[in-house]
Amino acid sequence: MGILDSKIPSGPLADKWTKHKNDINLVNPANKRNIDIIVVGTGLAGGAAAATLAELGYNVKTFCYQDSPRRAHSIAAQGGINAAKNYQGDGDSNYRLFYDTIKGGDYRSREANVYRLAEVSGNIIDQCVAQGVPFAREYGGMLDNRSFGGVLVSRTFYAKGQTGQQLLLGAYAAMNRQINRGKIQSYTRHEMMDLVLVDGKARGIIARNLVTGEIERHSGHAVVLATGGYGNVFFLSTNAMGSNVMAAWRAHRKGAFFANPCFTQIHPTCIPVSGEHQSKLTLMSESLRNDGRIWVPKKMEDAVAIREGKLKPTQIAEEDRDYYLERRYPAFGNLVPRDVASRAAKERCDAGFGVNKTGEAVYLDFASAIKRYGKEKALTSGIKNPDEATIIKLGEEVIEAKYGNLFQMYEKIVDQNPYKTPMMIYPAVHYTMGGLWVDYNLQTTIPGCYSAGEANFSDHGANRLGASALMQGLADGYFVLPYTIGDYLSDDIRTGAIPTDSEAFDEAEKQVRDRMEKLMSGTGIHSVDYYHKKLGKIMWNKCGMARNAKGLEEAIKEISELRKDFWENVKIPGTIDSKNQELEKAGRVADFLELGELFAKDALHRNESCGGHFREEYQTEEGEALRDDKNFKYVAAWEYKGEPKDAELHKEDLVYENIELKTRSYK
């Protein structure tokens, strides 16, 4: 199987994690005090890992580019977090969560990792409640659940439409407790510029203080990269403006393999693009698909009239609406997985049925949910024979209680009232399943360099199910990495502090300085954003929701040319040794310009359609994804060899011992 060893423990699936925890080496509490760990990124995965490692007794240094760990982009996750608690008694179990996740990921993730994820999911909810996370509750005082796409049970826990915020603030609070104890040193407004390897092991980082511009050296016995995804390679995405791939890409250049870069999630329910000035896209939570019905007009003339502003959606009769998800996928209806819902929206819009002025939008309609809830509320409130207006008023109140903050956000951005007229939505880049290759212990191919959360490739295969990102981030951070990293560190109890005056640190720092000086030396007229937007257009048009060989080949060529142009010409004002936001952006875009090419190369080599990766050449007669398990049932892990075009492919074959591979069907 080549040089990739996934280190999956032997034994029955359900026993692997317990057995592994019993088998691995531990570091005794006294020795933990002599071991330093660097955690880069303070979102759910990094924040949870930092807090837990510090509780265990390790000395932790955390780094984030934001001015506070609380601002990591996990904060923007809206809908919820999955856990196999079976509080609703609807037949949920660890196995079912495991099965749904593997199937949802279109059979491109590891059984053992995903089972472990399901196994610890319940612990996450227990832990968060103990931390004071205010999850939604029912009147009896018990926790409430909702449903998400791609599953037939209600296992999603939530805190209004701000679940990510509340979970992150929980991890942040746990971090604060350790900062107060002196066990975590928190470096905010700091960016990791490079990974430092000493004798082949990850032993530190070079960081830039974003306030002063100073270059700093930090050493540790291990480095954890929990730096999120790379969706901003598309320029427009639901990621934060600062979200970037720099830490992961720097590690990749130093020897960490990058896995499945082309597995990207395009989320079906985002607010459509309004114009050229747009800087980012805003998600409308998948939870809205619990109650919203997605449709476009059945008749082309109606669609045209709507686009021209001559017709309103509310004027279109029920029988003239095409609820295309309910039509195509009767079993799951509006709650099909994200990749399926996104492609179906694109199909309708490409066919000419889009409903906004750009032709790239579909409706998400709450009118029938408002009536349904209104009637129920009237009944339970003892109102006999309520009139239409009363029903709608009561129904709107129920919808407001469930999704009020999302509706408010929509109204602020679009300037339309979604209680009275359907929302307009369109797919947008949201999450990246690909990332640094890690083994079962979450260690990359560089000894001592670990990766957690969205930054690694594990668990979600080719498509992530809703409410599973929060679950994975916290599982990695609270319950997996703090155990597995001990096994590696048990060899380091006599190492002592790692000095930062070594040749390895000198060399890494020099490279960082040279790179920044080269960036500043551009002689052209265009800003960093100019290049980033150009890259984004190439990615969206040729590596987006549907891909083909010709487009991908063009993308590879165009990105490579753009990268050359960027390095010669990008214009960056200011200086290196002071606060300089343009320079910060330039460093990030430089790495996106390499990653983008590898992305296209990966998509080109994978001659199949699976999950979020849809190759037009490989589809069924009904337009569904056509997987090729015979030839592509593997993780594609790329080794850096200079230019992205020279990257070398290593395959980790995926072994399914417990699940039968099937064609994914949501009909």
Partner 1 sequence: MKLYLKIWRQKDASSPGKIVDYTLDGVEGDMSFLEMLDILNEELVSKGEEPVEFDHDCREGICGTCSLQINGEPHGPDRLVTTCQLHMRKFNDGDTIVIEPFKAKAFPVIKDLIVDRSAFERIQQAGGYISVNTSGNTVDANAIPINKHDADEAMDAATCIGCGACVAACKNASAMLFTSAKVSQFALLPQGRIEAVERVQNMVRQMDLEGFGNCTNTGACEVECPKGISLTNIARMNREYLSASLKG
Which span sits near partner 1 by CB under 8 A: 154-162, 445-453, 501-509, 593-601? 154-162
Residue type (1 letter), 87:
Y
**Spatial strand order in the sheet of 184-187:** 184-187, 59-63, 36-40, 222-225, 449-451
Q: How far apart are CA 432 and CA 13, in angstroms?
A: 26
- The smaller minimum CB distance to partner 1, of residues 138 and 617, is found at 138
Cβ-proximal residues to 147 (8 Å cutoff; 6+ apart), any chain: 153, 154, 156, 290, 335
Cβ-contact 345, 294 below 8 angstroms:
yes
Region of 134-142, 286-294, 299-307, 349-357 interacting with partner 1 (CB under 8 A) = 134-142
Q: Is 173 in the site for partner 1 (CB under 8 A)?
A: yes
Cβ nearer to partner 1, comparing 352 with 574: 574
Q: Is 525 in the site for partner 1 (CB under 8 A)?
A: yes
Of 2, 30, 91, 142, the one binding partner 1 by CB under 8 A:
142
With respect to partner 1, which residue has the nearer C-beta, 513 or 526? 526
- Considering the complex, state which of residue 188 and residue 463 has its C-beta at the smaller distance from partner 1: 188
Question: By CB under 8 A, which span of 27-35, 389-397, 410-418, 502-510 interacts with partner 1?
Answer: 410-418
Spatial distance between the Cα atoms of 16 and 450, rounded to a whole number of angstroms = 20
Number of other CB atoms surrounding residue 645 within 10 Å: 14
Query: Given phi > 0 = left and psi -120 to 50 = alpha, else beta, which region is 228?
Result: left
Least distance (Å) between residue 120 CB and partner 1: 7
Choose, by CB under 8 A, the member of 52, 285, 432, 463 that binds partner 1.
52
**Which of 84, 112, 120, 378 touches partner 1 (CB under 8 A)?**
120
The answer to the question of residue 165 lying near partner 1 (CB under 8 A) is: yes
Cβ-contact 457, 441 below 8 angstroms: no
Q: Are 636 and 259 in contact (CB under 8 A)?
A: yes
Binds partner 1 by CB under 8 A, chosen from 143, 198, 383, 659: 143
Q: Is 280 in the site for partner 1 (CB under 8 A)?
A: yes
**Which residue lies nearer to partner 1 by CB, 581 or 665?**
581
| 446-475: contacts with partner 1 (CB under 8 A) | none
> In degrees to the nearest 10, what's the CA dihedral of 32, 33, 34, 40?
80
Minimum distance from residue 168 beta carbon to partner 1 (Å): 10
In the complex with partner 1, the residue whose CB is nearer, 266 or 481, is: 481
Residue 464 annotated to the active site: no
Binding test (CB under 8 A) with partner 1, winner from 141, 309, 382, 642: 141
**Minimum gap (Å) between residue 402 Cβ and partner 1:** 13
* 303 within 8 A of 296, measured Cβ to Cβ: yes
Least distance CB 191 / partner 1 (angstroms) = 13
Specify burial of residue 412 (Cβ count, 10 A radius: 0-12, 13-18, 19+). Answer: exposed
Residues 220-279 within binding reach of partner 1 (CB under 8 A): 238, 240-242, 274-275, 277-279
Report the C-alpha gap between 622 and 615 in whole angstroms: 14
Kindly state the smallest distance separating residue 233's Cβ from partner 1, in Å: 17
- 482 vs 611 by CB, closer to partner 1: 482
Distance of alpha carbon 320 from its chain centroid, rounded? Answer: 37
Would you state the structure tokens that stand for residue 88, as one six-digit string?
Answer: 């609703």
Segment near partner 1 (CB under 8 A); pick from 6-14, 405-413, 430-438, 491-499: 405-413
Catalytic residue among 96, 338, 464, 615: 338
Q: Considering beta carbons, is residue 15 or 653 the nearer one to partner 1?
A: 15
Residues 85-104 that bind partner 1 (CB under 8 A): 85, 87
Kindly tell me which residue out of 137, 299, 510, 550 binds partner 1, with binding defined by CB under 8 A.
137
Within the chain, what is the greatest distance between any pair of CA atoms?
A: 82
Total of residues contacting partner 1 (CB under 8 A): 82
Q: CA geometry: angle at 643 spanning 566 and 191, to 5°?
A: 60
Residue (26 or 173) nearer to partner 1, CB = 173
Distance in Å, CB of 159 to partner 1, minimum: 6
- Separation of alpha carbons 619 and 359, rounded Å: 25
Burial of 77 (0-12, 13-18, 19+ CB in 10 A): buried
Residue from 25, 28, 417, 578 that binds partner 1 (CB under 8 A)? Answer: 578
Among the listed ranges 145-153, 287-295, 513-521, 522-530, the one in contact with partner 1 (CB under 8 A) is 522-530
Among 28, 68, 93, 620, binds partner 1 (CB under 8 A): 68
Q: Which of residues 471-510 bind partner 1 (CB under 8 A)?
A: 478-479, 482
Using CB under 8 A, which of 37, 81, 125, 349 touches partner 1? 125
Asked whether the beta carbons of 124 and 97 are under 8 A apart, the reply is no
Among 4, 45, 179, 233, binds partner 1 (CB under 8 A): 179
Q: DSSP per residue over 177-239, as a string?
A: HHHHTTSEEEE-SEEEEEEEEETTEEEEEEEEETTT--EEEEE-SEEEE-----GGGGSSSSS
Q: Which of residues 340-359 bind partner 1 (CB under 8 A)?
A: none
Cα dihedral sign for 114, 118, 123, 128? positive
Q: How far is the CB of 14 from partner 1 (least distance, A)?
A: 16
Closest contact distance (angstroms) between CB of 160 and partner 1 is 6
Taking residues 371 to 390 in sequence order and writing x for each that binds partner 1 by CB under 8 A, - otherwise, the string is --------------------
Are residues 476 and 45 in contact, defined by beta-carbon separation less than 8 angstroms? Answer: yes
Give the CA dihedral 192, 198, 202, 208, nearest 10 degrees.
Answer: -10
Min dist. Cβ of residue 528 to partner 1 (A): 8
Binding to partner 1 by CB under 8 A, coded x per residue (else -) over 616-645, reads ------------------------------
* C-alpha span between 515 and 212 (Å, rounded): 18
Q: Are 472 and 486 in contact (CB under 8 A)?
A: no
Nearest to 236 by CA among 666, 532, 32, 456: 532
Stretch that binds partner 1, among 51-59, 422-430, 547-555, 592-600 (CB under 8 A): 51-59
Residues assigned a catalytic role: 338
